[in-house]
Amino acid sequence: MGDIGAGFGPILCVVGARPNYMKMAPLIRAFRAHARLPRSMLVHTGQHYDVSMNDRLFSDLRLPPPDHNLEVGSATHAVQTAEVMKRFEPLVDEYDPCCVVVVGDVNSTIACSLVSVKKGVPVAHVEAGLRSFDRSMPEEINRIVTDQLSDLLYTTERTAADNLRREGIEDRRVHFAGNVMIDSLRMNLERAVAPTDTLARAGADPSLVTSPPGFALATLHRPSNVDAPEALLEALTLLRDVSDRLPLVCPLHPRTQGNIRRFGMESLAATPRIAILPPQGYLETLGLMANAAVVLTDSGGIQEETTALGVPCLTLRENTERPITIAQGTNTLVGRDRALVVRLVDQILASGGKRGRVPELWDGHAAERIADHLSHWLERRVALAGT
């Protein structure tokens, strides 16, 4: 079916930053394959723009090229959010979308939701209701506000509905759909790149990942871990301790790379037991995660992906907005507690560590469920508009 009519143009799907792409890829595919949904267009805000943070992921995930790129780039939170809003508004005017679909919790998510709702365009938020209860995280503010603004809230785990209810959001707006990021993981696992190839391509020694007891994968980019010199020093020292136990592969986010340089901490990671890599593509990261003996991270998505893969994950944070990865999955919160991390790594090497199960509806079909639900919702809206 084409556009539904006045006030009911295409579905505008928004991405802005790296963690959005693996969520949007299955959604765009499901929307475009759905017989009863209007056409969907992909809008990229340009929050992330480097080849390593953007283009490679688009091709790995087989995301279609964006119909529009707003090219906002990096800036302070206020400026970045404001720029997205300023540049997104004319698109909403031009296309008169039937709804705007946003994912996750980045600045682009809140910015496009706010523009849309003020223009009377319904917003669907995929990955709604997650809460760390830590308002010092910029993402927590983005989650709370986006959920308040959204007409449709698709959740990845059942506890999300409790969080939303507490914030006064009616149950009828909330739909438990499962985890679209795990749709991407399942669809692409067979294409994952072997860690030896990833290291060789990056000019690192591939034998680091081939001998017992295996290797650890570490990723670090949260402002709370990398923006202050004391925190970054603690985190790097902790990783160095882990590297005494097993080799470490560490793809570095540009924020972390920049701060290591700025604070003069390059020497901390300079050991043959640690392979520092540039940011990796989706298929390389999948291969590293799936084959690691243990993953150390402060990423939200990686906590979920390791749970889906059954790989032990130590999360370098004091809290998580994804409690199911702890209750049912392989995740453990460790903060920057070096002694705890070394003890847990030893346990993992001795006995495999925490065994989890894959949470409900993390089954590879979340995007299809969302497409179906959205099509019914839009049809009801059209029917009501006609009465």
Catalytic (active-site) positions: 221
By three-state DSSP, how is residue 10 classified? strand
Beta carbon of residue 98, minimum distance to ligand UD1 (angstroms, whole number): 26
Nearer CB in complex with ligand UD1: 223/310: 223
Residue 52 DSSP class: I
Can you read off the two tokens belonging to residue 355?
């065994």
Nearer CB in complex with ligand UD1: 18/369: 18
By three-state DSSP, how is residue 128 classified? strand
Nearer CB in complex with ligand UD1: 110/371: 110
Of residues 29, 30, 34, the one with CA closest to residue 1? 34
Handedness of CA 132, 138, 143, 149 (dihedral sign): positive
Report CA dihedral (324, 193, 253, 19) to the nearest 10 degrees.
-50
Beta carbon of residue 221, minimum distance to ligand UD1 (angstroms, whole number): 6
Phi, psi of 15, rounded to the nearest 5 degrees: -130, 155
Residue that has been written with the tokens 């402002």 in this structure: 223
Q: Which residues bind ligand UD1 (CB under 6 A)?
A: 17-19, 47-50, 53-54, 74, 105-107, 138-139, 221, 253-255, 258
Nearer CB in complex with ligand UD1: 47/179: 47
Q: Are 96 and 6 in contact (CB under 8 A)?
A: yes
Beta carbon of residue 127, minimum distance to ligand UD1 (angstroms, whole number): 12
Q: Are 19 and 301 in contact (CB under 8 A)?
A: yes
Q: What's the one-letter identity of residue 249?
A: V
Radius of gyration of the chain (CA): 21
Beta carbon of residue 4, minimum distance to ligand UD1 (angstroms, whole number): 32
Nearer CB in complex with ligand UD1: 94/266: 266
Beta carbon of residue 37, minimum distance to ligand UD1 (angstroms, whole number): 28
Can you read off the two tokens belonging to residue 31?
């929307």
Beta bridge partners of 277: 251
195 prior amide bond cis, ω within 30:
no
Beta carbon of residue 132, minimum distance to ligand UD1 (angstroms, whole number): 11
Report CA dihedral (197, 202, 203, 204) to the nearest 10 degrees.
-70
Residue that has been written with the tokens 């890829």 in this structure: 25
Nearer CB in complex with ligand UD1: 72/246: 72
Can you read off the two tokens belonging to residue 270?
């300079």
